[in-house]
Amino acid sequence: MFSTMYRLKTFMLMVLLTVILIVLGGAIAGEGGLILAFGFALVLNFVSYWYSDRIAIKMTKSKPLPEDEAPNLHRMVADLSKKADLPKPDVYITPSQQPNAFATGRNPDNAAIALTEGIVDMLDKEELEGVIAHELSHIRNRDTLISTITAVMAGALAFLARMGRYRMLFGRRNRGAGALIQIVALIFAPLAAIIVKMAISRTREYKADASAAQISGNPDGLASALDKMDRYIQGKDHKMEVNEATSHMFILNPLSREGMSKLFSSHPATEDRISRLQQMR
């Protein structure tokens, strides 16, 4: 039953994002843009489904972490995977001093967890267990494929909007109502990507936090980790150099949140997440 619902949810998301991409492609660049966007969407859906783990790893510049270089960390992942009734995922290291992490893969048998260099250095054992359990929860809840598909499509929408702006500046310009539709589409394209990421990410983070507390048996470990990580990320010049389209995949938004960007964040407020975890004691 779970597998059927997951497949249906994934299929509906792919259809929704494909329709958005095609409609905006037609509005921005006419019939040629419509055809191009349709072909683009088909290729993106195929690639993001079958190669979701490789795409996310490549977009974040993560590298495999050999077991002999971090035996304790691999043992921790293996132990928590067993508690979560999951195969042990591949472990990657992301070259950033910002403490953060994400999971990817189309299913539990093709999954990976990536931890930044900063999170391994900063967190203690219980805190790191909480973070790893959170990422394993995403794998168990089948969030990882949907997350990567959303990242790919969000990147495509941003690319489409950028090409549309170039077309308006240097190409043939629409007139009258066509010009107005084109301008609205250019504004809506990146906004659509943000809205989709928000709708998908916020509820799944709460669910993964709750599942992580059950897997690790220690909600305080994840709560403490979230507090440390959030304080670091909000510090000056602590933003991670990462593609904005992938920001919703991380346990915390790796980009600093100020003003309107905080309002449209793909993640729920960290203090709310900590409060919910503390209530699970």
Q: Which runs of consecutive H residues, i.e. helices, occur in 141-266?
A: 143-170, 177-216, 219-233, 260-263
Condensed to tens digits (0 to 9), the pLDDT of residues 1-42 reads 445 564 566 566 666 666 666 666 666 555 555 566 666 666
Condensed to tens digits (0 to 9), the pLDDT of residues 177-195 reads 445 555 666 666 666 666 6
**CA angle at 145 for the pair 212 and 23, rounded to the nearest 5°:** 130
pLDDT score at 136: 97
* Residue 48 pLDDT exceeds 90: no
More confident residue, 263 or 224: 224
pLDDT band at 106 (very low <50, low <70, confident <90, very high): confident
Q: Is 236 helix (H, G, I), strand (E, B) or coil?
A: coil
pLDDT band at 126 (very low <50, low <70, confident <90, very high): very high
pLDDT score at 265: 61
pLDDT band at 259 (very low <50, low <70, confident <90, very high): very low
Gyration radius from the chain CA atoms: 20
More confident residue, 104 or 133: 133
Catalytic residue among 129, 135, 205, 244: 135
* Residue 272 pLDDT exceeds 60: yes
pLDDT score at 198: 63
pLDDT band at 254 (very low <50, low <70, confident <90, very high): confident
What's the whole-number mean pLDDT along residues 137-153?
78
Which range has highest mean pLDDT (45-59, 80-94, 132-146)? 80-94
Condensed to tens digits (0 to 9), the pLDDT of residues 231-243 reads 998 876 667 877 6
pLDDT score at 89: 96
* Residue 117 pLDDT exceeds 80: yes
How many whole angstroms separate alpha carbon 77 and alpha carbon 91?
8
Contact 103, 138 (CB under 8 A): yes
pLDDT score at 260: 41
* Residue 116 pLDDT exceeds 60: yes
Look at 32-41, 95-104, 118-127, 225-234 and tell me which has the smallest mean pLDDT. 32-41
pLDDT score at 197: 59
pLDDT score at 1: 47
What's the whole-number mean pLDDT along residues 208-214?
94
pLDDT score at 11: 61
SS3 labels along 57-100: HHHCCCEECCHHHCHHHHHHHHHHHHHCCCCCCEEEEECCCCCC
Instruction: Based on the residue annotation, tell me whether 135 is a catalytic residue of this protein.
Output: yes
C-alpha dihedral (262, 268, 274, 280), degrees to nearest 10? 170
